[in-house]
Structure 1
């Protein structure tokens, strides 16, 4: 497989927020499902040890059924953070469900006028996609979520996010051989903006929040879906042309999947992804699995399948 250069149709400049420094303010918001209060406070304490000031959105601990407050409450917290010049990064307390209900109502003009990192993954993917589509602002696919078994924030997750949030250098994500999706790795290199995230949200955003992926390295990960759901999502995205002209595919963690009458998630992914004839790098520790790392979304990336590395500027 040969290299593919980025050739997206939109030439609007990409905006990468400035790295945070000690004393900068981070705002915690809950765009999706309600978080646990103790987890929010632990995230706040961890960020404060980095020298950052941390404030909470007015509705961050609200609960409205399976949502962290009404749509208006969740949207207000997010837009207030986008408009507040003292806020230098916005961090989602968790994913879950609900971000897709407000993704088209973000203040995109404010996001472009004052670029700041949005940090989150899973359900937050739809917000990343919408912000990229309308504002071309780089976000961070990552989190400081507390491990349910230990009650602590894993050290690698903390260090990876801190580096992505507060350093100037590129982000290097190495493939892990113990990740099942490493079996999908092919050959070749690709260059383009890294776009995507949670596959369920990519499919949910198709036709309204999903940006043009031509020339992009598409990143996908998923958790706790039926194989048939993944099959339907990839079939729709492929047949609708959403993956036409992509430069490469970065495959993260596909966790909590069961074999279905001999079909594995890896075999299902290979069946779909091999049809695009682009370099594929699997085994990336990005998603809902063990020791996930943080990666910028929207930044220019180089995928090197032979070297087993994804490098994002």
Structure 2
């Protein structure tokens, strides 16, 4: 797995908009944050060009991202928001120059599409909060402070450890492997494609937002039927936020659905990890080897 170069003061960080649009006002908090880190923000050309719900038509969004992918002066790419649209760009993007000059990719949710691409290319990336999350002023920066500090540490070459409280539903155990995964809906949408997430021997991270319980069950069964749950070294379950049920109840919670599906396997499982569509969405380095341990007292993730 290739690790992109870490950043140094004065480096340029590109802000890309591969999915939904963002407003100039919503960008202000992250521009100030980047400058406070002694980095230079560079905006993709399409970033303030809304087209329906997107930040421009597909070719325009792809061209904006491609320009920063290929620019050797850009040391990291931070997607300003998710929503929907990243998967529509894959047929338009060329990662050949990026492979020769890799840089950090930051984001989550819809950006899982690009995490999957980079996992298949053997390049590490960072599952992390996005600028849109910082635009919920006046509380957002405080709500995300720990996650932002950890993200800064990673970008500049440190590897902060993660420890969080255990839950009664957790399955104890330990594993040593690379992290992979992201948003469940996007992992599901890429099953069977050349961009399907590689999970064998790895620690899989999943999270999601605004889904029905039956659909979570369906998506996870698809992952299982594709063999993506069978050979894991561990499973980390982040936020499943704003989950819905039908008028006739589905009958199982998210935790119950997951525990039933992984019952044949013996790897550790940790719920309520601080990642996903939540406050303090803690950054995770996809592709980086880590020790993962789940005990009755706590859950820990320590990078190697």
- TM-score, normalised relative to structure 2: 0.91
Structure 2 counterpart of 1:234: 220
- Summarize the Cα distance change of 1:202–1:22 in structure 2 as closer, same or farther, 3 Å threshold: same
Structure 2 counterpart of 1:81: 68
- Is 1:183–1:283's contact at 8 Å kept on the other side of the alignment? no
Structure 1 residue 140 displacement after superposition: 0.8
1:251-285 per-position Cα deviation (integer Å, ceiling 9, x unaligned): 11111124663522222222223333211122210
- Summarize the Cα distance change of 1:302–1:105 in structure 2 as closer, same or farther, 3 Å threshold: farther
Q: Partner of 1:171: helix, strand, or coil?
A: coil
Structure 2 counterpart of 1:15: 2
CA distance in structure 1 between the partners assigned to 2:168 and 2:63 by the alignment: 43
Q: Partner of 2:165: helix, strand, or coil?
A: coil
- Is 1:117–1:139's contact at 8 Å kept on the other side of the alignment? yes
1:288 matched to 2:274? The reply is: no
1:109-143 per-position Cα deviation (integer Å, ceiling 9, x unaligned): 2221111001100000111101221x211111112
CA distance in structure 1 between the partners assigned to 2:91 and 2:202 by the alignment: 22
Structure 1 residue 156 displacement after superposition: 2.1
Structure 2 counterpart of 1:7: none
Structure 2 counterpart of 1:164: 154
Structure 2 counterpart of 1:11: none
CA distance in structure 1 between the partners assigned to 2:24 and 2:264 by the alignment: 45
Deviates more, 1:34-43 or 1:94-103: 34-43
Structure 1 residue 21 displacement after superposition: 1.0
Which runs of 5 or more structure 2 residues have no equivalent in the other structure? none
- Is 2:59–2:92's contact at 8 Å kept on the other side of the alignment? no
1:157-306 equivalent positions in 2, closer than 5 A? 157-166=147-156, 168-177=157-166, 182-208=167-193, 209-258=195-244, 261=249, 262-306=251-295
Deviates more, 1:227-236 or 1:68-77: 68-77
Q: Partner of 1:237: helix, strand, or coil?
A: helix
- Is 2:229–2:262's contact at 8 Å kept on the other side of the alignment? no
Structure 1 counterpart of 2:25: 38
Consecutive aligned runs of 4 or more in structure 1 exceeding 2 Å deviation: 103-108, 147-154, 168-171, 258-263, 273-277
RMSD (CA atoms)? 1.8
Aligned with residue 128 of structure 2, among 138, 142, 163: 142
Q: Partner of 1:311: helix, strand, or coil?
A: strand
CA distance in structure 2 between the partners assigned to 1:127 and 1:199 by the alignment: 14
- Is 1:164–1:295's contact at 8 Å kept on the other side of the alignment? no
Structure 1 residue 99 displacement after superposition: 0.5
1:41-78 per-position Cα deviation (integer Å, ceiling 9, x unaligned): 22111101110011101001121222111111111121
1:60 matched to 2:37? The reply is: no
Structure 2 counterpart of 1:131: 118
Structure 1 residue 105 displacement after superposition: 4.0
CA distance in structure 1 between the partners assigned to 2:28 and 2:115 by the alignment: 24
- Is 1:218–1:248's contact at 8 Å kept on the other side of the alignment? yes
Deviates more, 1:84-93 or 1:292-301: 292-301
Which runs of 5 or more structure 1 residues have no equivalent in the other structure? 1-13
